[in-house]
Structure 1
Amino acid sequence: MLDSDFNARLGDFGLARVLDKEKTSYTEAGGVAGTLGYIAPECFHTGKATQQSDVYAFGVVLLEIVCGLQPGTSIDEFHCSVDWVWYLYREGRILDAVEERLVDDYVVEEAQKVLILALACSHPIAGKRPKTEAIVQILSGLVSVPNVPPFKPAFVWPSMPSTEEDDSCTMETRS
């Protein structure tokens, strides 16, 4: 979203309603503000919106678009769409998450790419999420989707610094 001077400010629509243009953190707004489901887990500890928390919210928006579900929608035993899609991914059925009203009116490879990218963006550990530049390259088809682990990793706080060799969301350039 943009402020009145067209500077990028926030990634969460609920947060945008609460914060005026001079406030840049959840703490300044009087606690964690925003729309549940779009708020990155670390924000409950730091009280700050960051580029990484924006990437998390973007991943949730991608899931909302492809799945046709709001993030807090309960599906079976899952209390949020991110957990449900991660389960389907682990089971090898990620395309079951595609909005059923689309029937077969979508490109399978593109839907799969966006769903896996959404999982990478909504990774519980902020340092494992792809950078904005990588997201653009993935959506443009210049870079392959990240390698996302089949089981949703646990949120750890404080997060450990990631190393390139330990990164579970590495990307491979297409030839």
Structure 2
Amino acid sequence: MHLFTVTDEPLSWILRSKILAGVGSALHYLHYEYDQKVVHRDIKASNIMLDSNFNARLGDFGLARALDHEKTSYTEAEGVLGTIGYIAPECFLTGKATQHSDIYAFGALLIEVVSGQRPGTKVNGFQFMVDYVWSLYREGRILDAVDKRLADDYDSEEAQRFLLLGLACSHPIANERPKTHAIVQMLAGSMAVPQVPPFKPAFMWPAMMPIDDLSQATSIYKTPLSISQYETRGLEPVASGKLLKYSGYTDRSMV
């Protein structure tokens, strides 16, 4: 994985920016431009494939599911699948993957690529990197989260925009997260990042919830699972179902 390779030359800022733009475009394609709506369900750095020119392709569709156009979510009968740190909070209650939960994972990825730290990194007493970045933002020093290996060799305005977008995508309330068409424009700098509150909002369960959702949440979580069990489930092979095929891979390598 290029991002975490221990060398004298870290992945440059120009390449990080290029990779994030490519993944943002790929996610928009899955959500709105493919014949069916697709929820990837496992967006993370190790699932981003790079060609010889560092063009990014979103790979590993083992957990992905295509949805009928009238549907907005996919329920996994075995519980929450994915990787801790990238899983949206609502997924632990509903067991459902949605476009919103993909956006949450992309937010974790944004922060990961800018900071050079995995989402589950514990720093300054915080359990997850996103919480640490939120604290830095509140203190007016969000750029302290930028990968120290880059020194001053990065675009500070772009880095701040990416980190703020990462926080916006990581909003605990699903409906508050930006959509992919806006994300693509924000990455390019042609649209302003939405206002991010200085304190991370609390996760709130919607006041009105369909009975089916309530029964689903109850049935899935009668026996709570530990984080280690979720991690184990996230790594288990799953039947792939319908997969999307991408062309143009050459000299594949991971971010």
TM-score bucket (shorter structure): 0.7 to 0.9
Q: What is the count of residue pairs matched by the alignment?
A: 158
| Residue 56 (structure 2) aligns with | none
Aligned residue for 1:35?
83
Q: Is the 8 A contact 2:39 2:98 kept in 1?
A: no
Aligned position for 1:99: 147
The equivalent position to 1:139 in structure 2, one of 187, 193, 210, is 187
Q: Greater CA deviation, 138-147 or 59-68? A: 138-147
* AA of the residue aligned to 2:168: A
Q: In the TM superposition, what is the alpha-carbon distance from 1:9 to its structure 2 partner? A: 3.6
1:12 aligns with 2:42: yes
Higher strand residue share: 2
TM-superposed CA distance for 1:145, in Å, is 1.2
Shift of 1:87: 0.3
Counterpart residue number, 1:25: 74
Taking structure 1 as reference, are residues 121 and 136 closer, same or farther at Cα in structure 2, changes over 3 Å only? same
For the residue of structure 1 that corresponds to 2:96, the secondary structure is coil
Give me the TM-score of the superposition, normalised by structure 1.
0.80
Structure 1 counterpart of 2:156, from 103, 108, 126: 108
1:103-123: CA deviation from partner (whole Å, max 9, x where unpaired)? 000010000000000000000
Residue of structure 2 equivalent to 1:77: 125
Decide whether the 8 Å contact of 1:38 with 1:60 is kept in 2: yes
Contact kept in structure 2, 1:26 and 1:33, CA below 8 Å: no
Unaligned runs of 5+ in 2: 1-26, 45-59, 68-72, 209-255
**C-alpha distance in 2, partners of 1:63/1:11?**
18
SS in 2 for 1:62: helix
Q: Runs of at least 4 residues of structure 1 off by over 2 A?
A: 5-9, 16-28
Amino acid at match of 2:194: P
Q: State the alpha-carbon separation in 2 of the partners of residues 20 and 67 from structure 1.
A: 27
Which structure has the larger Rg over C-alpha atoms?
2
Rounded Cα–Cα distance in structure 2 between residues aligned with 1:148 and 1:21:
31
Cα distance in 2 between the residues matched to 1:159 and 1:88 = 31
Q: Runs of 5+ in structure 1 lacking a partner?
A: 161-175
**Alignment RMSD:** 2.7
Q: What secondary structure, in the 3-state scheme, does the structure 2 residue paired with 1:49 have?
A: strand
- Structure 1, residues 20-66: CA drift from partner, whole Å, max 9, x if none? 757973523x1111100100000111111111111100000000000
Letter in 2 for 1:59: G
Does the residue aligned with 2:196 lie in a helix, a strand or coil? coil
Structure 2 vs 1, CA of residues 13 and 148 (structure 1 numbering), >3 Å: closer, same or farther?
closer
Aligned to 1:150: 198
Q: Distance in 1 between matches of 2:95 and 2:126?
A: 26
Q: CA 1:95–1:31 in structure 2 vs 1: closer, same or farther (change >3 Å)? A: same
Q: Distance in 1 between matches of 2:149 and 2:115?
A: 10
Q: Where does residue 88 of structure 1 map in the other structure?
A: 136
Is 1:18–1:33's contact at 8 Å kept on the other side of the alignment?
A: no
Secondary structure at the aligned position of 1:142 is classed as: coil
Identity of aligned residues (%): 59
Q: Which residue of 2 aligns with 1:56?
A: 104
